[in-house]
Structure 1
Amino acid sequence: MGNGLTQTINIGGASGYWGESAMATPQFLAHKEAGGALDYLVYDYLAEITMSILARAKAKDPSKGYATDFVDYVIRPFADRIASSGVKLLANAGGVNPEACGAAVREIIKEKGLDLTVAVITGDDLLGNKDKIAAEGLRDMFDGRDFPDVDKILSINAYLGAFPVAKALAAGADIVITGRCVDSAVTLGALIHEFGWEATDWDLLASGSLCGHILECGPQVTGGNFTDWEDAGDIAEIGYPIAEVAADGSFVTTKPDGTQGIVNVGTVSEQMLYEIGDPQAYFLPDVICDFSEVTIIQQAPNRVQVSPAKGRPAPATYKTCLTYADGFRAGTYVTHYGGNATAKAQKFGKAALDRANKALRVFNLGEYTEFSQEIMGAGSQFGEARESDEVVMKLAVKHPDMRACAIFLKEVSGLALATPPGLSGFTGVRAKPSPVVRLFSYLTPKGELPVKIDVGGNVITHTDALFSPTPAPIPHTLPKPPQDADTDVPLIKLAWARSGDKGNKSNIGIIARQPEYLPYLVAALTPDIVEGALSHFMETSGAVEVFHLPGSHSINFLIDNVLGGGGPASLRNDSQGKGYGQILLRQMIKVPSHIASQI
C-alpha cells in the first residue's frame, strides 16, 4: 500500500486536446495566487489524429512534431508565475518529438533565468521499427484488418503508463513532458509519487486513473457538453476542473471560485462514462480498472465526491496505435434557403456528384470509393428527410488519387450558376483535399519497450513489471423490468447522456437522474431500440453491447461500426458520435404515472 504521508493532493486539468483554449493556465495560476490549493497542472494534448499530424510535421522539419501550444501558450507567457507558484506541470505535449519539446521548454527557462527542472520521457515512438513490426504479420486487434503498407505508415506509438512520470518527479522534475501515454497517466503519475502507491496497489491505481479520466477533458466535467447545458452559465468564463485527491483514491471534483460552469453529479457521471467501453474492463498500462461500483455524491455546490474504484493486475502489453495514409478525402458545406430548401440541396448534391463522376471518366481516374451527403436542418442526423426552408448540406468524397478529390471540389464550386435558387455560403476560402488517416491497433509486449527518463540531463531507465492475470469480474445483472409503467415521458427528463468514440465504435453513457428511474431506462433502452435509433448510421446490425454500472445508476452502450470508419477516416459530419447521446435522449420512456407527474 502507499505510505499515506500526504493527506490531499490538488490537481488541475488544464487541457483536453491540442488546440483547446489557452485560458486554463492563467485561471489556475490566479486561483493559486489567491490562496487556493493547487499542487499540479496536467495537460492532455494527444489523440490518434494528432499523432499523425505531428508525424507529418516532424517529417518536414525535424525540430517539430510536438504540441506547440504547451510551449507558446503555457511556458513562454507564464514560466515566471509557474516558478513562483511551486505548481508542477505534467504534459503529454511531446507528441512524436518529446526531446524537441523539452529543448524548447528548457531554452525558455534558461532565457528567463528560472530554476525549474524539466524531465522528458521517451520510448513510446516505434516508427523506426516499422519494418520489423510489419514482418510480424499483425492484424488489427479490433476488426482483424491486415497490417498496412509500410510506406504509408505515419506514426506508431505505444501507450505508456504513469510510473515513468512518478520516477521523473521523484528525481526532482518540476515539468514532465511525455510522448504518447494514456490520457490519465499524467494524473496517476503525480498520485503515485505523492502517496507512494506501488505497482500492486490495484484499487489505488484504478482510483487514480479514474481521477485522471475525470480531469483529462478539462471543462467537459464542469459543464461542457453537459445534457443540462443551460445550467453551465456563461461558458466563456467556464471553470476548469480541480481534483482534491485523498490517499485512499477517493477525490472531490470542483473548480476555482468565481468561475462559471457547474460541477454536479450529472457532469461528473457523464465524464466517468465518456468513452470507457466495458466499465469493468477499462484497460490501462498500469491497471485494469473497474468503475462499475463507483459512487458519485453531491457534497456541496460545485463539489462532488467520487468514491474509489476497483482494479486488477496490469496487462502484459501496451496498446499500440499506428496511423497510416489511405488515399484522400474532400468535403465542403453549402447552404440553401427559401421554399423547398431540402429538395434544392438534394438536387444540387446529386448534380455535383454526377458532374464529378463524368470528369473522372474523362481523366480515367476510376470511381469515388465513398460519397457522403448530409443535410442538416432536414433531420439527416436523426435518420429523417423532412422539408425545411433553410438547410446546410455537407458533401464529401474519398478517392485514392488526390486529383479526383480536387475535381469534386471544383465541380461543387462550379455548379453555383446552375444551382436551384437560394444557394449561399461563407466565401473567401476554398476547401482542399486532405489525406485519409486510418488507425491500426495492436499490442506490444511490455518487455520489448524500455523507457528513458531524462531529468535535466540525468537519464533513468524504466521497465514496467509483469503480473499474472486474474479472472475478470462477473458482469453486473441489469435491474428487472418493472411492471407498473404506463405513461410516456422523454428520456431527457429521466437521464443525462454523454457520447463519444472508440475508433469506429460509439460509446453512449446513460445516467439516471434518480436511482429509482434506472429500471425503467433499462426496460426501455434495449439493444434493439438503441440500434433502431442509430440504424441510419450503422454499417452492421446486432452490434450493441450493454453494460451496467450500479454504483452510478447508469448504463453504457458500445455500438460497433457506427462512425463511418471513425475520426479522420470518416466522411461523417459527426465522425466521433458526439451527438449520439442527444439522439437517444429523444426516446420516449414508459414510467408510472406518479413519476411522470413529478418530472
Structure 2
Amino acid sequence: MATAGKTIRIGGASGYWGESAMATPQLLEAGVDYLVYDYLAEITMSIMARAYAKDPQGGFAGDFISSVLKPHGPSIAAKGVKLIANAGGVNPISCGAAARAAIKQLGLDLKVAVITGDNLLDQLDAIAAAGPSEMFTGAAFPDKSKIASINAYLGAFPIARALAEGADIVITGRCVDSAVTLGACIHEFGWREKDFDLLASGSLIGHILECGPQATGGNFTDWEEAGDISNIGYPIAEVSADGSFAVTKPEGTGGCVSVGTISEQMLYEIGDPQAYFLPDVICDFSKVTIDQIDQDKVVVSPAKGHGAPDHYKTCLTYADGFRGGTTVSFYGFDAARKAQKFAEHVFARAETVLRGHNLGDYSETSIEIIGADSQFGAFGSDSSPREVVAKIAAKHPDAAALSILLRELTGLGLATPPGLSGFSGARAKPSPVVRLFSYLTPKNEIGIQIDSEGVPIDYAVTLGQAFDPSAIARPAAPAAPDSDAAMVEVPLITLAWARSGDKGNKANIGIIARDPEFLPYIWSALSTTSVAERFAHFVEGGAAAATIEKYYLPGSHAINFLIDAVLGGGGVSSIRNDAQGKGYGQILLAHPVAIPAAWADRLVQGDIE
C-alpha cells in the first residue's frame, strides 16, 4: 500500500451519547473520508446494562441508527464515507442488526462489521473468584450480585481488520475513545503493531476528535472567541502517513480552531502525559507542538510511543446504595445565609424522621451554595450575594431514606427564611449510586471476534510488554524566573488557558501558557502545595491529605496536574455539584501568579499575547 504523500480527512461527529445530531450532515457537506462516533463512558455503560436487562434487544446507542444512518444513509453511501462507532454499548450484535435493517430498508449497499469481546459480564463468576483489586485504590472486589457491567477497553487493530475486510460501517462495544480514529489510520496507512510512534500519533488524533466540538471552541477558556456556538463546527483532522495532522472545521460554522483550543483538548482527561496508557501503545505527548497555520486551522506534530501494554484496562460498574438531591434558590438580603440555614434544617428534620423509622443516618451529605463562591473554598469572595442556588444532596443504603429527605425538603417550604423560589415541577426521586471499579485483564484472556456481514472472524490479539514508568526520561523543569525584577501579581487566566476533567475519582487540570515566556512564572507559582490549598475543600482531610502529581509538557508549554480523590467518588457515585471536575480549571485560573511589573502594562496593552 503506497502511502507517501497520502492524507485522509476524519470528522469527529460525536463526543457522548445524547449529543446534538447536527455533526453528521455538517461533516458530510464539508467532505470527509471517515466519520467517527464516540458514545461511551463508564456511566453510559451502566445505563445501557440496565436497559439490556429490561430488553435483550436494547443496550446500545440507538441514536446511531435513528439520527445517523436512517436520515443520512443515502448521503453516506453516495459520498463513500466510512463510519466507525462504539455505538454497540453492551449489545453490539443488536446494534449491528439494527444498522443492517436500516440499510436494507433504505435500499443501500453498505457492509456492516460488528466487533465483540469486550463484554465480560458472562465471566462474572470466574472474575469474582479471582478477586482482582481496584487498580488505583487497592479496594477489594465488590459484591458480584451488585455488578451491572464489566468491559475491557479494546484497541484499534480489530477495527482496522474490519475495514480491511471491506466494512463500510464498523460498530464496536467498549473500546478506548481514540481507537475509532486510530483504526482508520492503521487501515489507510498500513501502520503495524510495533510502529509505536505512529500509533501514539494516531491515538492523539483520536483524542483530539473524541469530544467533538471541545476541539473547536467548546469549553474553551477564551469562550467568546467561539462566537456562534449554536452553529459550532465539528472537528476535522487531515492526517498524514507520518502521524502529523492538521485540525480544522467546516467553513461557515461557528466555533474556532486555535493553538488554545487544541492544546486544551490534548490535555483533557489525561494523567501522566509521558505514559498515557492505551491498549495499542503507551503515548508520550510531552514534546508535541501545535502551531497556527491559518484561520481555524492548526498543525500538530507527531507524538512518541513507548510500546504496548500487556493487558487491557477493564472497568466494571456496580450499585452501592442510593443518592438523592435537588436545588432551590433564594434571593434577597443575606441570600447565602438563608440558603445555608434552610439546608441545615432540612437535614435536621429528615434525620429526625430517619431515626423514627430506624433507617440510620445518611452515609454522606452535601450542601453547596452556588453563587456564594462555594466552589472556591477559602479563596472565594467575601461579598454577600443577593441570589443563590442551594444544592442539597445525600447518600444512603436505602432509597426510602432519600425519599424522606426530598419530601422534607419540599415540606419545609412554608417554614423557610424569606426568598425561597425555584422552577416548579415534580419532586426529585432517589437514583442508584453507580460506582466504578477498574482492574487489569491480561490480553491473552480476551477473545475478540469480528462479524463481517455474518462471516465470523476470530481476531488474534498481539500481546504487549510490561512497562515501567519510572524509566521515563523526564524533561527538566522550566528555569526559575528572574528574582531581581520588581513583581506584581495577576490571575493565572491572564497568562494561560486551562481545561479540566475527570479520571474516575481523580481530576486532571491542564494549564497551557499563552506565551512560552510566561511558563517559568506559572510553573513557579503553581506548586503542588498551592494547588492542594485551592482544592482543599474538595479533599477529605483537606490540603494536607491531597495527593497531586505535576507534569511538564515542553512541546506545548503546558503543565498537567492530576489530583486524587477530589470528586467525591466521581460520576453518578458523587453528590457534588461538579462530579466530573469540569469547572476545576476555572477555579485554578484564579490562582495568582507573580510576573515582572514591566509586563503588567504590556499585558493590559495587549503586547504580550
User: What residue number does 1:427 align with?
Assistant: 424
SS at match of 1:146: coil
Tell whether the 8 Å contact from 2:536 to 2:546 is kept in structure 1 after alignment: no
Amino acid at match of 1:584: L
Deviations 1:186-206 (A, max 9, x none): 000000000000000000000
Cα distance between partner residues in 1 of 2:459 and 2:475: 37
Is it true that 1:572 corresponds to 2:588 in the alignment? no
Tell whether the 8 Å contact from 1:498 to 1:508 is kept in structure 2 after alignment: yes
User: What residue number does 2:601 align with?
Assistant: 597
User: What residue number does 1:370 align with?
Assistant: 364
Is it true that 1:11 corresponds to 2:10 in the alignment? yes
Q: Which moved more, 1:434-443 or 1:453-462?
A: 453-462
Pick from 447, 452, 456: which aligns with 1:450?
Answer: 447
Deviation at 1:373, TM superposition (A): 0.4
Cα distance between partner residues in 2 of 1:98 and 1:6: 36
Change over 3 Å in CA distance of 1:442–1:591 after alignment to 2: same
User: What residue number does 1:544 align with?
Assistant: 548
Cα distance between partner residues in 2 of 1:181 and 1:89: 15
Cα distance between partner residues in 1 of 2:76 and 2:403: 47
SS at match of 1:536: helix
User: What residue number does 2:499 align with?
Assistant: 498
User: What residue number does 1:387 align with?
Assistant: 384
Deviation at 1:483, TM superposition (A): 2.4
SS at match of 2:481: coil
Q: Which moved more, 1:279-288 or 1:341-350?
A: 341-350
User: What residue number does 2:197 align with?
Assistant: 203
Cα distance between partner residues in 1 of 2:295 and 2:587: 30
What are the within-5 Å matches in structure 2 for residues 78-477 of structure 1?
A: 78-383=72-377, 384=380, 386-469=383-466, 472-477=471-476
Q: Which moved more, 1:317-326 or 1:538-547?
A: 538-547
Cα distance between partner residues in 2 of 1:387 and 1:68: 47
Amino acid at match of 2:410: S
Amino acid at match of 1:571: I
Deviation at 1:564, TM superposition (A): 0.6
Amino acid at match of 1:576: Q
Tell whether the 8 Å contact from 1:296 to 1:305 is kept in structure 2 after alignment: yes
Aligned residue pairs total 593
Amino acid at match of 1:580: Y
Cα distance between partner residues in 2 of 1:331 and 1:123: 38
Tell whether the 8 Å contact from 2:52 to 2:91 is kept in structure 1 after alignment: yes
Amino acid at match of 1:569: S
Cα distance between partner residues in 2 of 1:271 and 1:169: 28
Deviation at 1:5, TM superposition (A): 5.4
Deviations 1:10-64 (A, max 9, x none): 00000000011111011112223xxxxx100000000000000000000001010
Tell whether the 8 Å contact from 2:70 to 2:106 is kept in structure 1 after alignment: no
Q: TM-score, normalised by structure 2?
A: 0.96
Amino acid at match of 1:451: I
- Aligned-pair identity in percent equals 65
Tell whether the 8 Å contact from 1:6 to 1:195 is kept in structure 2 after alignment: no
Unaligned runs of 5+ residues in structure 1 are 33-37
User: What residue number does 1:530 align with?
Assistant: 531
Cα distance between partner residues in 2 of 1:250 and 1:3: 17
Cα distance between partner residues in 1 of 2:383 and 2:532: 21
Is it true that 1:587 corresponds to 2:591 in the alignment? yes
Deviations 1:454-510 (A, max 9, x none): 111111111221234465421222112212451211111110000001111110000
Tell whether the 8 Å contact from 1:44 to 1:216 is kept in structure 2 after alignment: yes
Tell whether the 8 Å contact from 1:205 to 1:286 is kept in structure 2 after alignment: yes
Cα distance between partner residues in 2 of 1:80 and 1:423: 53
Deviation at 1:3, TM superposition (A): 5.2
Cα distance between partner residues in 2 of 1:5 and 1:559: 43
SS at match of 1:135: helix
Deviation at 1:429, TM superposition (A): 2.2
Deviation at 1:145, TM superposition (A): 0.7
SS at match of 2:393: strand
Change over 3 Å in CA distance of 1:504–1:80 after alignment to 2: same
Q: TM-score, normalised by structure 1?
A: 0.98
User: What residue number does 2:607 align with?
Assistant: none
Cα distance between partner residues in 2 of 1:64 and 1:169: 25
User: What residue number does 1:23 align with?
Assistant: 22
User: What residue number does 1:511 align with?
Assistant: 512
Tell whether the 8 Å contact from 1:71 to 1:105 is kept in structure 2 after alignment: yes
Deviations 1:330-367 (A, max 9, x none): 01000011111111111110111011101111111111
Cα distance between partner residues in 2 of 1:438 and 1:258: 42
Deviations 1:264-283 (A, max 9, x none): 00000000000110000000
User: What residue number does 1:35 align with?
Assistant: none
Amino acid at match of 2:538: F
Tell whether the 8 Å contact from 2:539 to 2:546 is kept in structure 1 after alignment: no
Amino acid at match of 2:220: F
Cα distance between partner residues in 1 of 2:383 and 2:97: 56
Change over 3 Å in CA distance of 1:386–1:409 after alignment to 2: farther
Change over 3 Å in CA distance of 1:563–1:413 after alignment to 2: same
SS at match of 1:322: strand
Tell whether the 8 Å contact from 1:375 to 1:392 is kept in structure 2 after alignment: yes
Deviation at 1:69, TM superposition (A): 1.1
Cα distance between partner residues in 1 of 2:349 and 2:546: 37
Cα distance between partner residues in 2 of 1:513 and 1:386: 31
Pick from 29, 32, 43: which aligns with 2:37?
Answer: 43
Amino acid at match of 1:117: K
Amino acid at match of 1:4: T
Q: Which moved more, 1:191-200 or 1:69-78?
A: 69-78
Q: Which moved more, 1:469-478 or 1:557-566?
A: 469-478
